[in-house]
């Protein structure tokens, strides 16, 4: 039993589970007054529902997940929890669950981006059977795709239009965010993380599934969602 406990602690340390303390234990008993009154859970669930109903990014990803045979259910595949540090969310591959950090997400726009980012990981998990724990390249690829396609870098883009080439600045933003995400959840050196990101960057940066393009802003995402919804019409009319 002692060995099992040690292995569990090692797993938490190696794979970033320490950032999500409720993954292993909760301060409050499920359904207790402490949980219902003194956490951000209720607000988190409302913002999650708004994201699922209104965000073109999230709607496209939810549709693509369903088409791929991995329908996402709000109550089963999302969990609002208190997290450590400044982390906003995570994808727990062991349970196929998206963690939303209710103590660190306070605006709807932030919730939309976190839901989108984590849904890209979930889509990759469904589509590619990603080996999150053993294959570092798989993790790096999904982090690059999530940073590229979720709108994480769109605010930087608005400023960069005036100062730099949009393409170069966007790529630098994606690379930087992917690196930070990896270093937050894996005990590896920055050099090792940079090397793996460099190795897979080009192929993963140009993999835009299921968007078909990089959605630089909400308008782009709406067009991508419209294209996705209409994807079968050409064949239906033949």
Catalytic residues: 118
On whether the CB atoms of residues 112 and 58 are closer than 8 A, the answer is yes
Number of neighbouring beta carbons within 10 Å of residue 219: 10
Residues comprising the chain, all counted? 238
Alpha carbon distances (Å) from 19 to 40, 125, 176, 185, 207: 17, 21, 20, 8, 29
DSSP state of 98: E
Look up residue 170 and give its two tokens: 């966007």
Alpha-carbon gap, residue 63 to 234, rounded angstroms: 19
On whether the CB atoms of residues 208 and 42 are closer than 8 A, the answer is no
Alpha-carbon gap, residue 226 to 60, rounded angstroms: 9
């Amino acid at each position: 039993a002692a060995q099992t406990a040690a292995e569990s602690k090692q797993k938490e340390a190696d794979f970033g589970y320490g950032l999500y303390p409720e993954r292993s234990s909760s301060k409050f008993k499920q359904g207790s007054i402490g949980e219902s009154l003194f956490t951000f859970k209720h607000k988190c669930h409302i913002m999650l529902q708004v994201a699922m109903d209104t965000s073109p990014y999230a709607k496209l990803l939810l549709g693509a997940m369903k088409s791929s045979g991995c329908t996402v259910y709000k109550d089963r595949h999302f969990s609002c929890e208190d997290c450590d540090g400044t982390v906003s969310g995570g994808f727990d591959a062991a349970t196929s669950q998206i963690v939303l950090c209710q103590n660190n997400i306070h605006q709807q726009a932030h919730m939309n981006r976190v839901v989108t980012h984590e849904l890209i990981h979930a889509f990759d998990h469904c589509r590619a059977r990603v080996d999150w724990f053993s294959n570092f390249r798989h993790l790096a690829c999904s982090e690059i795709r999530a940073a590229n396609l979720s709108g994480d870098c769109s605010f930087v883009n608005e400023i960069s239009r005036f100062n730099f080439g949009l393409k170069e600045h966007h790529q630098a933003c994606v690379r930087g965010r992917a690196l930070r995400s990896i270093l937050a959840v894996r005990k590896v050196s920055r050099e090792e993380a940079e090397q793996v990101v460099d190795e897979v960057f080009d192929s993963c940066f140009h993999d835009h599934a299921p968007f078909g393009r990089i959605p630089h802003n909400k308008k782009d995402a709406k067009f991508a969602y419209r294209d996705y919804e209409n994807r079968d019409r050409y064949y239906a009319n033949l």
